[in-house]
Structure formats: structure tokens, C-alpha cells
Amino acid sequence: GAEYDSWERQPHPKCLQGTRVDLLNHIHTLLDKREKSQLIWLHDTAGVGKSAVAFTVAEKMRDLKVREDTNVEKRLAGTFFFSRKHTERYTTGYFFATLVYQLASNFPSVRSDVKRAIHDNSHL
């Protein structure tokens, strides 16, 4: 899979303890603003650690709940990684399918909508 913790990405890139603290705190502050949804786009030149930052943030968000009264829905809606090594990971071909699968898996409240959309349109 193309999820952040996929076996295809071994070893997982991760920020070392005590590194990128200001950046990670800034991202977590943005993500803690629950009054609106957040999408964070990391961009920079190759090799500066974007994947390590993204993995570290995803790992923390995976363990946080949407609300305290739920055991099901997590704050990490979904992830996708692009890779030059894997042909199905260097284009957007699997991007939406991967994210929709994760949304349906992580949020039971949208699962029936996803099933209906797939049933109604066999080309999905």
C-alpha cells in the first residue's frame, strides 16, 4: 500500500528525537485548531526531510481520536506517499483510491456513502 507506514517504505523515515522540534510543534498547533479542517502541504527540495516530518506527524495523529467519546474515528484521515521506486506510486493513479479506502476504514460514518458511490458508478 501507499499509506505512510506501508511495508514498501522500510525503513520508515522518521525525525530523530529532538530534531525539527519547532516545525513539528508548528504543524501540531495547526492541526489542533479543530474549528476547521487542515491540509498541510510540505514542499522543499529533495533530501531535506519532508518524508521524515510527514511520517512523524502521521504517526502521532494516528493515535489521536477525533472526539474523546469515540474509540473508532481517529484524527488521521488518510495518507499517501509518492515514490520513484514503485510505478503505481509515482503518479496520481492510486492517490484517490488509497485515500478513499482509508477514509472508509477510519470513519465508519462515511463508509456507507463510499459503498454507495462505488455501487452507483462501476468505473470507480
CA distance 13 to 49: 8
Q: Per-residue pLDDT tens, the chain, 124 aa: give them.
A: 566 666 766 777 889 999 999 999 999 998 888 777 777 888 999 889 998 998 899 888 887 777 666 566 677 888 887 777 777 777 787 888 888 998 898 888 899 999 999 899 978 7
CA distance 80 to 95: 7
The most distant pair of C-alpha atoms in the chain lies apart, rounded to whole Å, by 49
